[in-house]
Structure formats: C-alpha cells, structure tokens
A and B are shown apart, each in its own frame.
Chain A
C-alpha cells in the first residue's frame, strides 16, 4: 500500500519539530528515514502511525494509505504494524501471547478461531525462527530475539504498512547486521510497504530502496542510496553520509593557500572550503608541483580492510582521516610522528552552503 504525505507539519509547544513535508512512498517500497537525533524522523514516523497527530493549523496536512485518507483515523484502525526501538513487548505475556495479541483483540466477528490463531502465530514464530521459545517470557530472550518477536507481533495482524522506529538501534553490531539482512529478505518475500527510522547511515544505505535524509525537521534529500552517495544535494547530506575532511583556505590566481599548504584548484578567487572523503586522500612521501599538503601522522588504526590514519598539521583546524590500503601502508612504512604529503584524489565543494562574506581584496 502506498503512503502519501501532504503538507505534514508538527509543533511541540512553540518549537517546530517538522516543517511542512510532502512525501510519496510507493507500494512495496522500503524507505529509510535518516537523520541525526532531533531531526524529526521519529516524529514523522509516529505521525504516519497515528501515535502523534500532525498540526492542524495554519494548514492541515493529509495522510493517505493508497486511496484511503487516514488523516483522522485512529491508530488502532490504521492497520499499521509498529516496531519500537526497545521492542515494547508485553512483559507479562509469553512470546506466543505477544504475537497472538493483535489477533485476540479483534472484534469477535472478525477474530479468527482459536485454532487458526494458534496456527498463524506458530507460522509467524517459525518465520522468525523462534518457535522453540514460544512459552518463554520476553525478559528471558536476548535483544535480537526480542526484536524478532516484536516484528512477528507487528506482522501478525497483516498490516498495510510496517513502521519501524530505530529497530536495530539497541542491538550490538553483529546482531544488527544479521537482522538487517533478515529484514531485507522478509521484505522481499512478503512485499509490504515499510518505513524505518535510523541514525545509522550505513544501515539506511544498505537496507533502503530510497532514503529520506532529514535534519532540523526538514527533508534534505530523497534518493536511492547510490544517488545519495554519489550526488549529495547539499553539504549536510554529504557530511552526514560519511566521514569528511575539511580544507579551508583562500583562492588566488587558481591556487588555494592555507598556511604553508597549497593546492592548485580551478576556482575563482575568494574564500573556499573543500571537502574530502577519507578514501579520497592519498598519502605519499613527497609532494608534487601544485599539491603541497604536509601532514604528520598522529594515530593509526589497523583493524579492518583498510588502515585508518589520523593526520594533523598547523594549517588544519581539525585532524584529517585517511584510509590507506594495507599494501600502501607497508610500502610507506607509516608510523606515528611521520611526515607525509596528502594528495586529494578528488574533492567536493558546496558553494551555496559555504558562501561567506568575502573579505575586501587586499589593496
């Protein structure tokens, strides 16, 4: 079922949590709401669920599930599944009763028979691979297991849309990875429309068909993970989607200078700020003409597919991070305190965002 939001805004008292937002989600799509805390992503999700109501003044927004206008429909009648960050399982009920809850509270006319409820719950528990724990209490389960129960519980009522609020936020890295893959598979199998909230860019990029990047109650960009990473619309999106190194300086006659660092750039004169990803920084033991960025190695982290090297220099406001292949790391014999030269493979620039009052040209 598709989801359409028109002009949805939200104030808490005087503070604006969401600026008026429009969002279209296709039937069967898996969409991630990505943003730092306080960006309004959870509020937006809760508004879609009906757990929070959108502003009605000055203009009332509208929420549509398919053709159905659910703006004024109560949560319990919206036919949604909601998965909470901290699972929110009914602590006094067994795993089985938790999953069965949505079926047992149906009005008597629609409620399936006891036998059918049992069959459906067991089928769901098998799907989340927890059938053997049906009689346990939630507290006796691990975090990952609890979140799977919570998913089965939400899916039991066959919701039109599945909403997940930081579903893996409280789990450790390995379980998170496993559950992510598992959710993706489930989504492909069952084809439900799904919206999930996360502050983890990796999770959003890996899981979503499309990602909605939010900050300060605004949508910054809606795109596929690839488009988002390759062509970020603005500086916020670029910075939020990965680690960023900053190079600030003044351009004069096609040369950006900053202390004793200089870099040939094809830019007009004025103050500039260039942004580089860690993998866009190449390290070498010598400098070339047009690129003179001397740095000192201050920290090295060897864990992972690449070596992470922290760099400092007088001309840098904040340390840089460079990722180096293990082979290069050994070839350059990189060690702490070593003097090296940084070579940008490429750099990014968001002029509209970085525009600052230019100083009067020196006479």
Chain B
C-alpha cells in the first residue's frame, strides 16, 4: 500500500520545487555575493576589505557581538532558570514578554531607544548633564543589539529545561550540593548544547543587525559604522565591489556560524546515538 502523497508524480514535483526554490532564493544570491566581490580580482577585493573604514567596521561589529554574547548568556540562563524552576504570579506574562524583541520591528526598537536615551530623551537628557552620550555612539549600538538578541538564549533553554524538569537538581541538593555546585555540575552539563546553540544564534543576529542599529548609530564612518551599515553606505556611493566585499565578509561570518551549528548538532546527535 502506498502512503499518502507518495505518488511518483507528486514526489518528483515536490522535490523539483524544493530544489528550484532553494537554488533561486538561497544558493544563487550567495554565489552572486562572492562573484560580485571578486568581480575585479582578488586585489581589488583585498583593497576594499583592508580599507581603514572597513577594518574599523569589522572591529566594531565583532566588538559589539563579543560584548552582547556574555550579557545575553547570563540574562538568558537567569531568565530560563527563573521561569522553569519557580512558580510565581506573572510567570506566564514574563514568558510572553521575552518575545517582545522578536515581535517588534527592530526599527521601532531603535526609535524608542533614541527617544529615551537620546540627548533630548527622558533618560538621555539627564545623562547629558553628566556628559554621558549613549546614542550615536557605540554604547547605543550595544544597547539595541542586546535588546534585539536577548530572547535567543532563553528561548532555546526554556523548552529544554521544562522538559528535563527539576528532579536531577533536587537529587543533587538532597546529596548535599550547594546551589552553585548543582548548577555547575548538574544543570550546566544538561543544557550546554542548547546554550551553545543559543549563543550561535545570538552571534549571528548581533553581527547582522541593521534596522535598530541604523537608527541609533548615526553611521559615522570610522566611528559608529558597523559592517551592515558600512555595506549600505558603500552601495549608496555606487561602490558595488566595495559593498559586495563587505557583504562577502558578512556572508562568510554567517556561513561559519552555520557550520559551527551543524557541527554541534552532529556531535549532539552522535552522543544521543551512543546512549
């Protein structure tokens, strides 16, 4: 007996559609990026990449990602712990609130931060009195990047920690383990793959974020220009090769991230197959 939807014609049609769509929407653009970037030779590509402004943008982007990750990591673990290990009023609302950064358009987030922390904003005007500038400087970029990426780690952890339950931790405590020891030796090993996966997603988004950052950064070349903003500027200046060189860098980071994720998944699967 044949399974539903297993007619040869249907199968062929679906496979063709899947391959065609993947090629048109995923593979072709990726190839195009690298083709454009190297269209005038490696030398020109290298000149664009090693341009002082590009280098600064790379540095700023990676720096922001590097600062964002630990913040999101601690925040995500703490939040997941709170939501899955304790019962308190407002727990469900909190779980919904976590998703706000996903639900809201990043541009809106950027605008709100600008309104609050800009020189004329509620908090910003107060800080201005102490000569502290958040917006149109790297702290502003960091703030919106954290806002946009903070759900990733918690989102990865919450379902897993809910499924795993609290029994192992309770067992550890009855055996005399302190709270920190329990976390380090029981909780952390159980969630480490999800944690790493969350970090990878956080990193990908932190590096690539455009909307929110473009509102608060001011895009000052050599100062507050992240790689995605730099790319856009180059494109507006009709420097296609320069723009695509930066795009190639971003794509490369994305590919490396995906490779890391695949490797992690492969390892996790292999571990499961073992046990």
Contact = CB atoms under 8 A, between A and B. Distances in A.
A101 B175 contact: yes
A76 B168 contact: no
A140 interface: yes
Given A90-B186, A91-B190, A140-B275, A84 B167 contact: yes
Contacts of B167: 84, 86, 88
B176 interface: yes
Contacts of B251: none
Nearest to A138: B275
Contacts of A49: 174
B28 to A, nearest CB: 43
B51 interface: no
B175 A105 contact: yes
Contacts of B181: 105
A90 B275 CA distance: 13
B141 to A, nearest CB: 38
Size bracket of the B interface: 10 to 19
B101 to A, nearest CB: 32
B264 to A, nearest CB: 16
A92 to B, nearest CB: 4
Given A105-B181, A140-B275, A81 B168 contact: no
Interface in A40-89: 49, 51, 75-77, 80-82, 84, 86, 88-89
Given A86-B167, A90-B171, A137-B275, A76 B186 contact: no
A131 interface: no
B168 A88 contact: yes
A105 B180 CA distance: 11
A300 interface: no
A116 B50 CA distance: 61
Given A90-B186, A92-B190, A76 B171 contact: no
B265 interface: no
Contact of A75 (B168, B173, B186, B190): B173
A90 B177 CA distance: 13
A106 B176 CA distance: 7
B16 interface: no
B172 interface: yes
Interface in A93-147: 101-102, 105-106, 137, 139-140
Interface of A: 49, 51, 75-77, 80-82, 84, 86, 88-92, 101-102, 105-106, 137, 139-140, 150, 153-154, 156-157
7 contacts: A82-B171, A89-B168, A92-B189, A101-B177, A139-B275, A140-B275, A150-B171
Interface of B: 167-168, 170-178, 181, 185-186, 189-190, 275
